[in-house]
Amino acid sequence: MSSFSSTEEQSKKSSRLSESRSIDYIPDGERHGHPFSQFTLWFGGNLQITAIVTGALAVVLGGDVVWSLVGQVLGASIMSFHALQGPRLGLPQMIISRAQFGVYGAVIPLVLVCIMYIGFSASGTVLAGQAMAHLLSISDVSGMILFSAIIIVIAVLGYRVIHKLGKVASVVGVLAFAWLFGSLLFNADLAGIVQNNHFSMPMFLLAVSLSSSWQIAFCPYVSDYSRYLPRDVSGPKVFFSVFSGTVLGTQASMTLGVITAAIAESAFSGHEVGYIVGLGKTETMAMLIYFAICFGKITFTTLNAYGSFMSLTTIVSGFRKQVTLSQKNRILFVVLMVAASCIIALLSEPAFLKHFTHFLLFLLAFFVPWSAISLTDYFFISSRAVDIPALFDADKRYGRWNLFGIGIYIVGVLIQLPFIENPLFHGSLTWLFDGNDVSWIIGWFGTAILYYGLHRLDKRVLPAATVYPNSAVR
């Protein structure tokens, strides 16, 4: 009788709209979905204005058109490998880092992840607020506040609603982008743009850094959106769904941005939303494009808000030995993170493009070594075996602070510093690469090699196979 009641309760949890789980393990009875949902989520989520602006940056900063389209595959591959951890472990991404850094030590990358979420959400709020203001004939400030309120509601509802939103965003995005591409192709002189395809190593490296940083920035939360998939789901299908969705969506957006910036020249920078909407020609089409921009940003910014809620919960739960979170605290955490993003957006709007560029590139120095450690440990050292209950208890095998993992992470950040070229930091060895930032390449592979080569110094006692919570045993 108790077994039947438990199964019935799990069935109700898996079918209701509002999510009850947070950072806790997703039992088999609550697993659902198909890998194709990963495609629609990442495809629809990347068909949006911030990706257009990011693609335009290579041109705005002086690059040519053709070579600035390169750079998605490497970053998306790394991201897609992270996505495989979700179904196998039934956990959000960053709590898995406790296996490498310790239950308390994982707070180090988590704090940086929260800063990233707030930054991305703030940049999205600026653009979406402008679009919503035009759509509803209100002020930009009111548009940003209304947009933030919508994000709070969707993030609180959680996983299932976010995936449904991703499906709708895919349809809306495809229709909007088809119109925008058509407007460019039939109303602009593309001959001169196509001819501007000379290879320039500095601009090539800039384009690769921009696109790779865009994809790697998703790594800290990609498995948050795959963790409800069945545990035995096909790994290659999950990988290809995430990979193809994020590459196609991002590349379409960045290609549109590249072509638009090349055509508009100085008219684009600082007036990104207005220029894109102007491609609609008629007032009706302009309003529809404003709607598409708002909808695309709702999807993308919700990912950041939901991820920030997960990360903040992981930080707090590590010290308080919590596994679950009440609905009241869930709402509180979401409101705190979204409010912080909204405040930053309201204060930083005039300098958005410049500050966003610097922020996006500088993020690499902190997330590349974390990504390298996470994947190297999971696939090559732990052999995909994780003691899930121990992730929630600092007195068990992973401990409070794993000095080995933390030490390698710090070294991974430091070895990048001489090769960073950013207004926030100028490395001493960037002259070797014509003043270009290649720190992310050196950081990822250097950290992975160090972590694997020195892993015998690690004092953890690793499990022979994944240990699931008692209630999860089949």
Among 33-37, 202-206, 376-380, 432-436, the minimum mean pLDDT is found in 202-206
For residue 403, the model assigns a pLDDT of 95
Mean pLDDT score of the chain: 81
pLDDT band at 473 (very low <50, low <70, confident <90, very high): very low
pLDDT digits 0-9 by tens, 414-442: 999 999 887 778 888 888 877 777 888 89
Confidence check: pLDDT of 187 > 90: no
Confidence check: pLDDT of 67 > 80: no
% of residues, the chain, pLDDT over 70: 82
Q: Say which residue, 199 or 233, is predicted with more confidence.
A: 233
pLDDT band at 159 (very low <50, low <70, confident <90, very high): confident
3-state per-residue secondary structure call for the chain: CHHHHHHHHHHHHHHCCCCCCCCCCCCHHHCCCCCHHHHHHHHHHHCCHHHHHHHHHHHHCCCCCCHHHCCHHHHHHHHHHHHCHHHHHCCCCHHHHHHHHCCCCCHHHHHHHHHHHHHHHHHHHHHHHHHHHHHHCCCHHHHHHHHHHHHHHHHHHCHHHHHHHHHHHHHHHHHHHHHHHHHHHHHCCCHHHHHCCCCCHHHHHHHHHHHHHHHHCCHHHHHHHCCCCCCCCCHHHHHHHHHHHHHHHHHHHHHHHHHHHHHHHHHCCCCHHHHHHHCCCCHHHHHHHHHHHHHHHHHHHHHHHHHHHHHHHHHHHHHHCCCCCCHHHHHHHHHHHHHHHHHHHHHHHHHHHHHHHHHHHHCHHHHHHHHHHHHHHHHHHCCCCCECHHHHCCCCCCCCCCHHHHHHHHHHHHCCHHHCEECCEECCCHHHHCCCCCHHHHHHHHHHHHHHHCHHHCCCCCCCCCECCHHHCC
For residue 58, the model assigns a pLDDT of 61
Q: Say which residue, 171 or 203, is predicted with more confidence.
A: 171
Kindly state the average pLDDT of the residues 281-287.
76
pLDDT band at 401 (very low <50, low <70, confident <90, very high): very high
Domain residue ranges of the chain, discontinuous segments joined by +: 37-463
Confidence check: pLDDT of 59 > 70: no
Kindly state the average pLDDT of the residues 357-384.
86
Among 139-143, 146-150, 301-305, 459-463, the minimum mean pLDDT is found in 301-305
pLDDT band at 267 (very low <50, low <70, confident <90, very high): low
Confidence check: pLDDT of 222 > 80: yes
Among 101-115, 155-169, 223-237, 339-353, the minimum mean pLDDT is found in 339-353
Confidence check: pLDDT of 70 > 50: yes
Asked if residues 436 and 205 have their Cβ atoms less than 8 Å apart, the reply is yes
Topology of domain 37-463, CATH: Hydantoin permease (1.10.4160)
Q: Taking the model in full, what pTM does it have? A: 0.85
Kindly state the average pLDDT of the residues 165-178.
83
- Give the span between the Cα atoms of 277 and 293, in whole angstroms: 9
For residue 306, the model assigns a pLDDT of 84
pLDDT digits 0-9 by tens, 291-334: 887 887 888 888 888 888 788 888 887 777 766 767 787 888 88
pLDDT band at 282 (very low <50, low <70, confident <90, very high): confident
For residue 360, the model assigns a pLDDT of 61
pLDDT band at 81 (very low <50, low <70, confident <90, very high): very high
Confidence check: pLDDT of 7 > 50: no
Confidence check: pLDDT of 4 > 50: no
For residue 454, the model assigns a pLDDT of 96
Q: Count CB atoms within 10 A of the CB of residue 291.
A: 15
Q: Say which residue, 408 or 296, is predicted with more confidence.
A: 408
Angle between helix axes 201-216 and 235-264 (nearest 10 degrees) is 130
The token duo for 339 is 């409010």
The token duo for 288 is 């529809």
Q: Say which residue, 406 or 167, is predicted with more confidence.
A: 406
